């Protein structure tokens, strides 16, 4: 009985998740089928959860709110694939694919984005999508991912110590 208890004891159990909370601004270009172009300002707000941040590739889900000022607002649901560096506040990439719902016109269409993450949560996001029967849109935003800056940051310890990081390489 004692042997079963000793053998059955797990070493360290971890059930961490990754998370994202990004806010950025930048231009958005909209082209219709007739070649008409419109350039506006957009705000991008992302939030989501993913798998354990210690993995090589992290998968998760993402919700995005993206108003195109003076035009409309898009609400998107996306699937995210991100590199270990991206999730843990270092250099890395994230690819998002999914669909958007245009709130003012009740349209649904495909969308995707590529995010380049730098240390300290700095993020550049390029997003594009098809507009039903009309054309397409492309946006570029620069902003800050607050989860990558605080909880998931594993860089910049000499300037600002992360007391409770979600991912601790020394524990593996």
- Which residue did the predictor score with more confidence, 33 or 50? 50
| Percentage of the chain lying above the pLDDT 70 cut | 78
Q: Which long-range contacts (CB under 8 A, 24 or more apart) does 89-97 make?
A: 89/117, 89/119, 89/120, 89/121, 89/148, 89/149, 89/152, 89/153, 89/154, 89/155, 90/117, 90/119, 90/154, 90/155, 91/117, 91/118, 91/119, 92/116, 92/117, 93/117, 96/62, 96/64
Coil, strand or helix at 85 = helix
Q: How far apart are CA 126 and CA 76, in angstroms?
A: 14
Does 16-156 carry CATH code 3.30.505?
no
pTM reported for the whole predicted model: 0.81
Residue 82 has pLDDT above 60, yes or no: yes
Mean pLDDT in residue range 23-33: 91
Residue 77 has pLDDT above 90, yes or no: yes
Q: Both tokens of residue 31?
A: 């082209």
The pLDDT score that the predictor gives to residue 157 is: 57
- Which residue did the predictor score with more confidence, 71 or 62? 62
Domain assignments of the chain as residue spans, ordered by start: 16-156
- Which residue did the predictor score with more confidence, 18 or 16? 18
Give the model confidence (pLDDT) of 116-136 as tens digits: 999 888 999 999 999 877 788
Residue 35 has pLDDT above 80, yes or no: no
Which distant-in-sequence residues (6+ apart) come within 8 Å of 170 by Cβ?
Answer: none
The pLDDT score that the predictor gives to residue 96 is: 98
Residue whose C-alpha is closest to residue 118's, from 162, 158, 153: 153
Q: How far apart are CA 146 and CA 111, in angstroms?
A: 23
**Taking CA 32 as the corner, what is the angle to CA 62 and CA 136, rounded to the nearest 5 degrees?**
25
Average pLDDT over the chain reads 83
pLDDT band at 166 (very low <50, low <70, confident <90, very high): low
Residue 171 has pLDDT above 70, yes or no: no
The answer to whether the CB of 130 falls within 8 A of the CB of 27 is no
């Amino acid at each position: 009985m004692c042997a079963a208890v000793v053998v059955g004891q797990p070493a360290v159990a971890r059930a961490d998740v990754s998370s994202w909370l990004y806010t950025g601004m930048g231009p958005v270009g909209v082209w219709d089928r007739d070649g008409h172009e419109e350039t506006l300002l957009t705000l991008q707000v992302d939030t989501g959860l993913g798998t354990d941040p210690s993995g090589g590739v992290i998968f998760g889900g993402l919700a995005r709110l993206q108003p195109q000022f003076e035009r409309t607002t898009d609400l998107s649901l996306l699937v995210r694939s991100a590199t270990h560096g991206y999730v843990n506040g270092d250099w890395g990439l994230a690819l998002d694919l999914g669909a958007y719902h245009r709130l003012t016109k009740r349209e649904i269409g495909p969308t995707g984005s590529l995010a380049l993450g730098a240390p300290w949560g700095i993020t550049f996001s390029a997003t594009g999508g098809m507009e039903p029967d009309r054309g397409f849109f492309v946006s570029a935003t620069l902003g800050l991912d607050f989860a990558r800056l605080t909880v998931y940051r594993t860089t910049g310890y000499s300037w600002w110590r992360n007391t409770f990081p979600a991912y601790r390489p020394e524990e593996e």
